[in-house]
Amino acid sequence: MKVNVRGKNVDITDGMRTRAESKLEFLDRYIAVDDETVANVLVKIYSSYHKVEVTIATKIGLLRAEAVADDYYSAIDVALDKLEKQIKKHKSRLTDHHKDSLVTEFLEQTDKEDAVVQELVRTKSIDAEVMTLDEAILMMEMLGHTFFLYTDDETNRVALVYKRDQGGYGLLET
């Protein structure tokens, strides 16, 4: 796996890079990781705390976690613990809801032609992919967002699913 460690307001040391690479080795237990998988680690230092953001592009979507702590090493540990919990949660959810198709996709090795290379940019533009409501909710949960834009496979129109403050999910259709 390729690990890109970048810093804002900080120079990344070899120790910081080594710590991130060694802590990310746990992914082999949960998902198919090959040489084309890219993990982006962004370290930001503020006056009183450190923030670490970890984003990993996989075949089924983005895995993302962030953490804030007094120092970098604590922040990277907390962020990767969150990422591991997220992966476990979604892996069991995939097993429960989509036993055949998504679980095998989650575990299979990706071909080099299918590998997705991600770059971090300031502006986001998305293509509302065609999927079911259940798949859109799964993707929203995996990204850790409160909403997700997609194209509904039944109506072929753009829709937005979101988390409600009172619990459950809401759906906005165009």
Whether residues 93 and 128 share a domain: the answer is no
Token look-up 């509302």 returns 128
pLDDT computed for residue 137 by the predictor: 92
pLDDT at 116 over 60: no
pTM above 0.95, yes or no: no
Per-residue model confidence as pLDDT tens digits over 127-160: 888 999 999 999 898 888 899 999 999 999 999 9
Task: Give the SS3 label for residue 50.
Answer: strand
Whether residues 131 and 108 share a domain: the answer is no
Final residue in a domain of this structure, among 75, 93, 120: 120
Residues 86-113 have a mean pLDDT of: 59
Whether residues 19 and 76 share a domain: the answer is yes
Mean pLDDT, all residues of the chain: 81
Burial level of 74, CB count in 10 A (0-12/13-18/19+)?
Answer: middle
pLDDT band at 112 (very low <50, low <70, confident <90, very high): very low
